[in-house]
């Protein structure tokens, strides 16, 4: 809010920003004495700093109230007229007009005597949050003072400016509708308006509201509208709806959706809300929630499916997303039905908690359900249907399944045909059943469980065909034996007689006796319907458990979750019963959660952190919630109290409400058992008929016993669940279940609702408001009154008002400094978080009016962290690039080093190869040289041979003989080869002979070592054995002496060898030993010592034998390995050394233990000798 002095200040003057003021305050605080109490920073006088010449200021005292602008009376300096006009036009873009008479959108209801709730999901925080809350205060008065410019009257507010400029306006017509027109002229207190249809109206300016410029028609964010009033918002919605632009933003984290026949992907969209929730979950590591609200038929279920589809795409590639999406098909089939306002109305509430891993992959889901409308199974209004699953089963089940379940068409069942509505236009129930079976398969529900499901559904339908006949004047009945009775009994797995007993009789306990009483016709019908409702409700819970079990397989990888709440919308029918009572109570709770987060907590945070903030008023529904929940005079408490009285009726309940709640402003008592409640969405009249019975939700013990005795598995499971839900389940019998006081329906529902609120409170909420465009469920039809009523109920104007001025981005100084401080110089980044934060803001030139500095946090308008976040991302990219460059350099250096190493290795290999080639060449040269020499000597021999041969040839020639030259050459070659082979064999034999001699020498040495070792072992073992023999002989002698002493001094009393024989002086060994031990304790100790000595010596002897055998076996094995008899890779010499070491170690230890045993034996012997002497002395003295 700008003061007059601020406006009058010259533009050139230097103004202090809120940051400078805050820093000066902190500096003064630091200069104070240490014992002085700390002072908080002064609250800034405006958002950031006073206006400068660059930013035109608004009129002093300009303020938003009731969706319109108000201007306080103040005097300002006279400035140039053009500058003043610019100032006013700038104000028009953000502010509104003064209050005018008429139906202004967002009018606040006043609850002057608001009481704090005694019971709330936010008990710990409630009283603190109530402090300082601005709830529906009276708007400030508006002065009619005018501002003069150059001596002429100037515009005092927005409406005067609109009238002067003859801009577009909204005119209130006689039929209470707003019409768009253009101001033609102004005469006195009236204005002539040219409407769009050509008519000219003369109206008072009080009946006019400013209209937005053409450029803002159909804007997708209501915050961007220059004038925020009822007709402008309504016109904007209608224009977008006509162009199939059904989504609209009206706050940060809040989306508005008009249900229509066509949806587009334009922004804003449900996808944007889901994407925001997903990104915040990954960024902040906090669970998120998407709360979808609106009246019945507004499109909440479809919106929830769109959000789930988008989240499944974001967290895909895990295989779970298809299963999560298919849950919608199953839950819609079992929990949705056709009502008068919606062909696919959710008759239960559900919270779908989708789990994600740290990488953002979907890894499971969990579904929670609330308050299924099970009364719809047995009765409903005309023109409505029961749950879709019944019609889909009758229409789409294959012939084999129909035969097993004895199914007929839907028109043959009383539960389905009573409302005269079996089909929905444009819906094929047969195809829907096929889709349902596919969904059950996708969720991995087995065919056996599917058969159980369909069997129970068929049993419920056949229960409705059971009829009764009156048998006496007291209206008692008996069950008619018909097809319905027999078929229902078969499907449940019980006998027809058991079913008849449960339907027509009840057992009353009188003391220890039970009396069987027949039911009247009304009671029998109620018992039948109660059984059918109970089976269906438990079946619904069972299928949800199966779904959760299937979706929870990967929950061990769960990190965070996004919850989607799709709960029944606010309902107001011609006749509203118990179900509408509970549904609207739940919507009151959700509306308070909405108010709490978008108004209450946000504004409280601003005030607590000391920033400049003018509280925005909003409609608080605390009084209505108090009417429901207050104890002991709240609606729920009175309903529970009346339900406990056996003779109470619905009419008596209505009278009690009138007596107790007549003073409450939100309650109105009506005639004929009805009452009215003033909800946040309007007044609703409730009929108390059936309230008590539905709240008690009775089920006779005979029905529970029937289910427990059925052969089928599911009825037994249902019975066990019912018994477990009772209070004293450990001591209950079947007949005492109904006697036990169990929780009422509203008490259970209230507990579920409180748990839901606490769960949502732990998440970051995102709101989607669904608006129903028309009540006829036709596309492209826009009903102004219906839409206007919903907008008022949702508090859209208050949401937009607070969104215009609020600070959606809030971050602590520490977090801001940690996130962006590295963008500064190192000297600045090392300062305190507040100084770092201010330096970052100044570096990125964020306008001071776009943020405020609180005591602990920084508050920003939307989009103000874009530059700093962009710089941070850019820096992160640079760091990533630097790391990538370092990584590339590392691998490049590695590659170069590897190439260098390969080159050096190649050079070394070539060098080695050249050396080896040289060596081989020299060896080959030597061989060739030797061969040449051998050839030379061979040639000499051949020369001599040829000479001799020539001589012999001459001789033969002379004698007439001629030799064959080739034969001789071949013989000579063979002789040469034989000689060479003989030389090689001789050399090889010489080498083998040397190796054999060396091996025989080593073997003889090894045998000598083994013999010496064996002789040493034998000597040592013999010595040990002699020591043991001596010890044994010593022990035997001591033992004989001890026993002789016992025998000499044993008393000679009569002993009984048996029960019938008495002998004196004759004792069996057992008796002698027993008597001796009983009369002589010292002898007993001596005998124990003797036994221990024998055991110790025996143990040493046994250890000696075992070790001897082990060492002999090891030595024999090594000899076998050494001689080659056994193949092994071990080294015999090394193993022999190890064996010697082990033997020496054991021998040393064994000698020490043997020596210790000898010492102990000597001590024990001396003790025994002393004991015998003492004992003998005692006997002699006697």
Torsion region of 678: left, alpha or beta (phi above 0 gives left; psi -120 to 50 gives alpha): beta
* Residue 1007 annotated as part of some ligand binding site: no
Q: What stretches of 317-405 adopt beta strand conformation (E)?
A: 336-337, 345-346, 349-356, 362-370
- Long-range contacts from 212-221, C-beta under 8 angstroms, 24+ separation: 212/168, 212/236, 213/168, 218/243, 218/245, 220/245, 220/247, 220/248, 220/249, 220/266, 220/267, 220/268, 221/248, 221/249, 221/250, 221/268
Burial class (CB in 10 A: 0-12, 13-18, 19+), 838: buried
β partners of residue 515:
508
Q: What stretches of 511-655 adopt beta strand conformation (E)?
A: 513-518, 560-566
Alpha carbon distance 628, 625 (integer Å): 5
Angle separating helix axes 713-725 and 521-551, nearest 10 degrees: 100
Q: And the tokens for 135?
A: 């709830």
* Residue 67 annotated as part of some ligand binding site: no
* Residue 188 annotated as part of some ligand binding site: no
For the chain, the 3-state helix, strand and coil shares in percent, each to the nearest 5, are 55, 10, 30
| Residues 201/202/205/210 CA torsion (nearest 10 deg) | 20
Task: Give the contacts of 219 (CB within 8 A, at least 6 positions apart).
Answer: 225, 236
CB atoms within 10 A of CB 938: 14
Task: Give the contacts of 981 (CB within 8 A, at least 6 positions apart).
Answer: none
* Residue 396 annotated as part of some ligand binding site: no
* Residue 226 annotated as part of some ligand binding site: no
Cα atoms found within 13 Å of the Cα of residue 1160, Cβ hemisphere only: 14
Give the three-state DSSP class for 685: strand
Q: And the tokens for 207?
A: 């009946």
* Residue 297 annotated as part of some ligand binding site: yes
* Residue 300 annotated as part of some ligand binding site: yes
Longest dimension (CA), the chain: 176
Q: Does the CA dihedral 1035-1038-1043-1044 come out positive or negative?
A: positive
Q: Does the CA dihedral 1051-1054-1058-1063 come out positive or negative?
A: positive
Give the three-state DSSP class for 868: helix
Q: And the tokens for 824?
A: 């500064």
Nearest in space to 488 (alpha carbons), one of 451, 531, 523, 522: 531
Alpha carbon distance 625, 680 (integer Å): 10
Under DSSP, the state recorded for 387 is B
Nearest in space to 15 (alpha carbons), one of 46, 59, 58, 56: 46
* Residue 299 annotated as part of some ligand binding site: yes
Q: Alpha carbon 132 to chain centroid distance?
A: 36
Tell me how many degrees the CA angle 73-850-289 measures, rounded to the nearest 5: 110
Residues placed in the known binding site: 294-301
Residues placed in the known binding site for ATP: 294-301
């Amino acid at each position: 809010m700008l003061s007059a002095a601020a406006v009058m200040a010259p533009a050139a003057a230097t103004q202090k920003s809120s940051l400078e003021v805050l820093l000066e305050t902190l500096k003064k605080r630091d200069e104070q004495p240490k014992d002085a109490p700390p002072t908080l920073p002064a609250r800034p006088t405006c958002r950031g700093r006073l206006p400068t010449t660059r930013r035109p200021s608004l009129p002093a005292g300009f303020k938003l109230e009731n969706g319109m602008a108000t201007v306080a009376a103040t005097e300002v300096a006279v400035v140039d007229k053009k500058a003043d006009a610019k100032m006013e036009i700038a104000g028009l873009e953000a502010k509104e007009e003064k209050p005018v008479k008429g139906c202004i959108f967002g009018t606040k209801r006043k609850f002057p005597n608001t009481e704090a709730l005694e019971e709330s999901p936010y008990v710990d925080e409630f009283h603190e949050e109530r402090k300082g809350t601005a709830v529906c205060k009276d708007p400030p008065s508006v002065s009619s003072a005018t501002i003069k410019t150059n001596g002429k009257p100037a515009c005092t507010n927005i409406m005067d400016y609109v009238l002067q400029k003859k801009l577009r306006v909204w005119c209130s017509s006689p039929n209470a509708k707003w019409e768009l027109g253009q101001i033609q002229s102004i005469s006195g207190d009236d204005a002539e308006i040219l409407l769009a249809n050509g008519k000219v109206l003369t109206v008072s300016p009080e009946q006019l509201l400013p209209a937005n410029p053409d450029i803002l028609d159909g804007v997708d964010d209501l915050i961007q509208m220059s004038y925020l009033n009822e007709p402008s918002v309504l016109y904007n919605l209608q224009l977008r709806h006509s162009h199939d632009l059904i989504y609209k933003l009206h706050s940060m984290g809040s989306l508005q959706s008009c249900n229509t026949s066509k949806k587009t992907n334009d922004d804003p969209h449900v996808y944007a809300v889901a994407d925001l929730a997903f990104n915040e979950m990954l960024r902040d590591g906090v669970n998120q929630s998407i709360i979808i609200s609106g009246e019945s038929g507004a499109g909440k279920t479809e919106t929830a499916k769109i959000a789930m589809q988008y989240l499944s795409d974001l967290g895909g590639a895990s295989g779970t997303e298809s299963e999560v999406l298919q849950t919608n098909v199953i839950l819609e089939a079992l929990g949705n039905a056709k009502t008068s306002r919606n062909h696919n109305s959710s008759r239960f509430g559900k919270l779908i908690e989708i789990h994600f891993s740290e990488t953002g992959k979907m890894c499971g889901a969990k579904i929670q359900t609330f308050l299924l409308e099970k009364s719809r199974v047995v009765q409903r209004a005309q023109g409505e249907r029961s749950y879709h699953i019944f019609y889909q089963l009758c229409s789409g089940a294959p012939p084999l399944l129909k035969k097993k379940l004895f199914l007929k068409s839907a028109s043959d069942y009383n539960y389905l045909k009573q409302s005269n509505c079996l089909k929905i236009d444009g819906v094929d129930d047969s195809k829907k059943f096929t889709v349902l079976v596919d969904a059950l398969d996708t969720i991995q529900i087995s065919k056996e469980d599917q058969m159980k499901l369909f069997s129970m559904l068929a049993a419920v339908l056949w229960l409705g065909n059971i009829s009764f006949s009156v048998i006496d004047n007291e209206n008692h009945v008996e069950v008619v034996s018909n097809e319905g009775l027999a078929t229902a009994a078969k499907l449940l797995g019980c006998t027809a007689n058991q079913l008849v007993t449960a339907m027509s009789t009840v057992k009353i306990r009188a003391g220890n006796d039970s009396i069987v009483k027949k039911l009247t016709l009304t009671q029998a019908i109620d018992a039948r319907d109660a059984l059918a409702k109970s089976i269906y409700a438990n079946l619904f819970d069972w299928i949800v458990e199966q779904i959760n079990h299937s979706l929870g397989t990967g929950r061990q990888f769960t990190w965070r979750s996004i919850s989607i709440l799709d709960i029944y919308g606010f309902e107001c029918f011609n006749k509203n019963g118990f179900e509408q009572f509970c549904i609207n109570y739940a919507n009151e709770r959700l509306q308070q959660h909405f108010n709490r987060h978008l108004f209450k907590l946000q504004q409280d945070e601003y005030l607590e952190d000391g920033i400049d903030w003018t509280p925005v008023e909003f409609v608080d529904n605390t009084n209505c919630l108090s009417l429901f929940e207050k104890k002991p005079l709240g609606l729920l408490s009175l309903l529970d109290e009346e339900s406990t009285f056996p003779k109470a009726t619905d009419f008596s309940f209505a009278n009690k409400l009138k007596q107790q709640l007549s003073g409450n402003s939100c309650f109105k008592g009506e005639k004929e058992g009805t009452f009215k409640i003033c909800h946040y969405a309007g007044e609703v009249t409730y009929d108390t008929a059936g309230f008590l019975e539905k709240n008690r939700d009775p089920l006779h013990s005979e029905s529970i016993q029937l289910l427990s005795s059925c052969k089928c598995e599911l009825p037994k499971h249902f019975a066990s669940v019912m018994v477990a839900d009772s209070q004293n389940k450990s001591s209950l019998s079947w007949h005492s279940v109904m006697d036990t006081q169990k929780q009422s329906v509203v008490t259970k529902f209230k507990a579920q609702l409180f748990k839901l609120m606490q769960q949502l409170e732990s998440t970051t909420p995102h709101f989607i408001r669904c608006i129903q465009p028309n009540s006829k469920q036709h596309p492209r039809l826009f009903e102004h009154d219906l839409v206007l009523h919903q907008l008022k109920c949702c508090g859209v104007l208050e949401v937009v008002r607070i969104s215009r001025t609020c600070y959606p981005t809030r971050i602590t100084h520490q977090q801001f400094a940690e996130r962006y401080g590295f963008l500064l110089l190192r000297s600045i980044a090392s300062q305190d978080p507040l100084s770092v934060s201010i330096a970052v803001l100044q570096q990125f030139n964020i306008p001071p009016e776009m943020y405020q500095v609180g005591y602990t946090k920084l508050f920003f308008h939307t989009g103000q962290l874009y530059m700093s976040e962009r710089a941070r991302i850019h820096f992160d990219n640079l760091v990533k690039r630097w790391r990538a460059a370092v990584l590339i350099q590392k691998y490049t250096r590695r590659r170069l080093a590897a190439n260098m190493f390969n080159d050096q290795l190649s050079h070394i290999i070539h060098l080695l190869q050249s050396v080896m080639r040289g060596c081989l060449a020299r060896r080959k040269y030597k061989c060739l040289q030797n061969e040449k020499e051998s050839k030379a000597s061979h040639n000499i021999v051949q020369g001599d041979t040829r000479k001799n041969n020539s001589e012999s040839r001459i001789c033969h020639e002379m004698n007439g003989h001629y030799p064959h030259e080739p034969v001789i050459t071949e013989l000579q070659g063979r002789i040469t080869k034989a000689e060479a082979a003989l030389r090689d064999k001789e050399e090889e034999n010489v080498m083998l002979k040397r190796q054999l001699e060396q091996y025989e020498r080593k073997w003889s040495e090894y045998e000598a070592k083994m013999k010496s070792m064996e002789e040493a072992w034998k000597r040592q073992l013999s010595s040990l054995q002699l020591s043991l023999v001596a010890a044994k002989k010593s022990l035997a002698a001591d033992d004989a002496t001890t026993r002789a002493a016992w025998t000499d001094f044993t008393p000679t009393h009569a002993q009984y060898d048996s029960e019938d024989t008495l002998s004196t002086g004759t004792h069996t060994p057992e008796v002698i030993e027993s008597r001796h031990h009983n009369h002589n304790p010292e002898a007993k100790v001596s005998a124990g010592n003797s036994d221990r000595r024998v055991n110790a010596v025996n143990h040493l002897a046994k250890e000696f034998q075992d070790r001897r055998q082990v060492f002999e076996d090891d030595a024999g094995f090594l000899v076998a390995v050494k001689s080659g008899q056994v193949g092994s890779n071990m080294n015999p010499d090394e193993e022999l050394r190890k064996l010697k070491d082990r033997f020496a170690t054991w021998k040393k230890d064994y000698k020490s233990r043997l020596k210790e045993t000898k010492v102990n034996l000597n001590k024990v012997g001396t003790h025994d000798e002393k004991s015998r002497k003492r004992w003998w002395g005692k006997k002699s003295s006697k």
